[in-house]
Amino acid sequence: MAKPFLERNLRIAPIDVYIDPPQPQARAIITHGHADHARSGHGAVLATPDTIAIMKTRYGEDAAGRWEELPFGEKREIDGVTVSLHPAGHILGSAQVRLEYAGQRIVVTGDYKRLPDRTAQQFELVECDLLVTEATFGLPVFQHPKPSDEIARLLRSVASFPERAHVIGCYALGKAQRVISLLRESGYDAPIYLHGAMLRLCDLYVERGIPLGDLRHSLDVPKAELAGQIVIAPPGAIKDRWSRRLPDPVLAVASGWMSVKQRARQSGVELPLVISDHADWNELRETITETRANTVWVTHGREDALVYWSQQQGLAAEPLRIEAYEDGPEDVQ
């Protein structure tokens, strides 16, 4: 392949535009609203309408000098580079970035998953020459179970402990809304109670057309009424003073990381729910193959196994070590 027009720090060289830059830049394309990808302070931000709405909600209207909406599938020509955004299936508005310049096609996946999710636009496979893929769960041990089975486990526990509240630790953007939506999909139509930190983003999802059913602020009801109910809270809140307001809570956490049993045990989680918004090992490999890319750059997580696997398939592959992407508390998915 000719020298890629994308640099390893995800700068699009011919037009000096960065994808998900960790530092403020004059022009940025943002894949989705999570904090390790979407930062405030850029001159101009190009993103999907949902991502821009999320960034404005989290950071304020003036978090970028200029906002440019690019709906899914529409092409934008910038000085000879054709840019389009395609659903990544990770959270509401999350996009893969497709770039074409001088006959070379590049796709940057951002964070993605391929399982259907009513709270995110369905992942779309995009063929390319160079694929820049995430690798959060890029090890063969990561094979996510079906989310509906995890929700069924939760509901069995709720039925078994009618005197206790179930509090589910979920990241406030994406995971909380997905867990609520999965509960609704499984037929659970009781009110779901929210920690205050969840309210704004749940409202935004509803405003943007994602139904979440009957949601209530957990502070609005007396403690006793929360017995037998489900409460959604940030992972950090489930063990602090706040949770003393709940009747004998069962602590649950919904995250792809919950498949690491030791991690769940160490964090004192009674009911680990393996619900991930990232592709697992099988999805990552399938995607690399199906895009028919001949070159693969691996970033955002456990790069080495996926690089090695790609090379075994005869592809040119290398890790990108971009330090900005970490699974801190902001990105527990």
Residues of this chain that bind Zn ion (CB under 5 A): 34, 36, 111
- Residue written as tokens 């509906």? 148
Smallest gap from residue 19 Cβ to Zn ion (A): 12
Smallest gap from residue 177 Cβ to Zn ion (A): 13
128 or 322, CB closer to Zn ion? Answer: 322
183 to 101, 138, 231, 248: CA distances (angstroms)? 44, 28, 12, 22
Helix (H) or strand (E) segment spanning residue 206: helix 199-207
53 or 81, CB closer to Zn ion? Answer: 53
Cβ–Cβ under 8 Å, residues 166 and 157: yes
Judged by DSSP in three states, 257 sits in helix
Smallest gap from residue 170 Cβ to Zn ion (A): 14
34 or 178, CB closer to Zn ion? Answer: 34
Cβ–Cβ under 8 Å, residues 229 and 248: no
Smallest gap from residue 8 Cβ to Zn ion (A): 18
Sheet holding 130-135, edge to edge: 76-78, 81-87, 95-101, 104-108, 130-135, 295-301, 316-319
Amino acid at 121: Q
Smallest gap from residue 143 Cβ to Zn ion (A): 20
Cβ–Cβ under 8 Å, residues 278 and 178: no
3 to 29, 187, 294, 310: CA distances (angstroms)? 22, 52, 13, 19
Smallest gap from residue 152 Cβ to Zn ion (A): 26
Smallest gap from residue 37 Cβ to Zn ion (A): 6
Amino acid at 204: L
Nearest-CA neighbor of 259 among 243, 283, 276? Answer: 276
91 or 237, CB closer to Zn ion? Answer: 91
Cβ–Cβ under 8 Å, residues 148 and 157: no
95 or 202, CB closer to Zn ion? Answer: 95
Alpha helices in 116-162 (DSSP H): 147-160
Smallest gap from residue 324 Cβ to Zn ion (A): 9
114 or 164, CB closer to Zn ion? Answer: 114
Judged by DSSP in three states, 224 sits in helix
Amino acid at 183: L
Q: What distance in Å separates the CA atoms of residue 2 and residue 121, rounded to the nearest whole number?
A: 33
89 or 249, CB closer to Zn ion? Answer: 89
Radius of gyration over every alpha carbon of the chain, rounded to an integer in angstroms = 20
98 or 300, CB closer to Zn ion? Answer: 300
34 or 302, CB closer to Zn ion? Answer: 34
Smallest gap from residue 266 Cβ to Zn ion (A): 23
Q: What distance in Å separates the CA atoms of residue 27 and residue 66, rounded to the nearest whole number?
A: 9
